[in-house]
Structure 1
């Protein structure tokens, strides 16, 4: 049975006036010029309308982020790529990042950080302990005796000042006195900035290795495009695991 309803409609000649509500089927037909019409199921002919509501997609619906997870098939990967070499090239920037964090990003300056500090002299690189004797006198003072290589003093001072350890060495003859500064907010911020730069450098080195191996892969002959694409995606996925490891090391700082 139909529900009877009085509907106010505009006077329109030869037009069908519809009033459709959600989940409701009604019978409406109007050929009259009267502004009022009692709608019922007794009018013939009649047209039946079924209200069907379409829902628009929410603008706030989040899209799936990132690409689908790629399964790394080492057997397949090894057929076209030297997997051991690839892993070694990916791992090397990680090891460098760890070393740099230990040497340059400690809140307290350590003897090890100074001993392994790189000093450029006459176009060659040395570590500071090769040029001088390093001794910690007390928790707030480190001394470097440069009497064996006094000509390296200016280069050593420059390297210490640019080490990122917030150090300001003072020279007395062939001896360098290095006060260990108190930890300040500015020093912490500088360490955080340096840590980010080191992470970005590590990430870029991994990406460079990824690009290099993919270019070499595409030069392979007698290999289908589908296989090349699969291996390429696996190389990218493998690189991402090392980048994630670098990210974890960076976040821990």
Structure 2
């Protein structure tokens, strides 16, 4: 049996990945279909059986480059220019206030071990005003496992106090008995730590939204300034967003640090 092999190579040939067999009739054995640029065929003819064997060589594309880091190009902040258009100090003050509030809430409400001090500072909304719990009640520690909140002076504040304690982010579950609230002190378990870490994330989101709210109000105000050119307004908007992002980044770092502390991660 006489056979021969012809290898057609292209500049882009790669690794052989599969072999495909085709039986071709005698009248077509001299006809070879043109191959795509990314394939190479080896022709092997067996004249006794009138067969042609094609070995397909597929050229695989090179692996894709790693995705670039997400985020838009950095915007240069020209504070001198921006100050002529908006009240820059007021903008920064309001954004910084949101970050400081986050720090304060982490310190007061996200301690692994619940204590009277952290409960005393829980904010309670009553009649359109915000009070700390200690302004409305007497708080004592009955034993290592229970905190007692006496609401006899302001019994009308009990529903608001219950809601505030439950939503404090300290993983507390108060129980009411008349004008007295009993608060079981959570055990320091892995689950308790994880719940506190989730609450830390929720407080961060609240902070981030506050910063973005300041940003959006400022941008809305910019768009109302008819005397400014469209390009200047656009540039100032980008700078305001860039400033807001710096405060959000600061808040993210505070969140990361707090979660590591709560979850005991290095």
Q: Same fold (TM over 0.5)?
A: yes
Corresponding position: 1:236 with 2:213:
no
Give 1:144 deviation, angstroms: 2.6
Q: Distance in 1 between matches of 2:219 and 2:163?
A: 41
Mark the CA change 1:86 to 1:147 in structure 2 (over 3 Å): closer, same or farther. same
Corresponding position: 1:218 with 2:230:
no
Pairs within 5 Å for 1:120-139: 120-122=125-127, 124-139=129-144
* Secondary structure of the structure 2 residue equivalent to 1:68: coil
* Secondary structure of the structure 1 residue equivalent to 2:114: coil
Give 1:114 deviation, angstroms: 1.2
| Equivalent pair of 2:186/2:192 in contact (CA under 8 Å) | no
* Secondary structure of the structure 2 residue equivalent to 1:142: strand
Deviation sequence 1:199-236 (CA, Å, 0-9, x none) = 11211221121122122222223333332222222111
Q: Distance in 2 between matches of 1:207 and 1:107?
A: 30
Q: Distance in 2 between matches of 1:141 and 1:251?
A: 30
Mark the CA change 1:75 to 1:177 in structure 2 (over 3 Å): closer, same or farther. same
Mark the CA change 1:235 to 1:60 in structure 2 (over 3 Å): closer, same or farther. same
1:84 corresponds, among 85, 89, 93, to: 89
Q: Distance in 2 between matches of 1:176 and 1:86?
A: 42
Mark the CA change 1:133 to 1:216 in structure 2 (over 3 Å): closer, same or farther. same
TM score, norm. by length of structure 2: 0.66
Mark the CA change 1:214 to 1:111 in structure 2 (over 3 Å): closer, same or farther. same
Corresponding position: 1:189 with 2:194:
yes
Deviation sequence 1:21-68 (CA, Å, 0-9, x none) = 69xxxxxxxxxxxx9xxxxxxxxxxxxxxxxxxxx8752343464222
1:114 corresponds, among 115, 119, 134, to: 119
Shifted more, 69-78 versus 220-229: the winner is 220-229
Mark the CA change 1:121 to 1:77 in structure 2 (over 3 Å): closer, same or farther. closer
Counterpart in 2 of 1:25? none
Give 1:87 deviation, angstroms: 0.5
* Secondary structure of the structure 2 residue equivalent to 1:206: helix
Pairs within 5 Å for 1:92-107: 92-107=97-112
Counterpart in 1 of 2:67? 62
Q: Distance in 2 between matches of 1:250 and 1:58?
A: 36
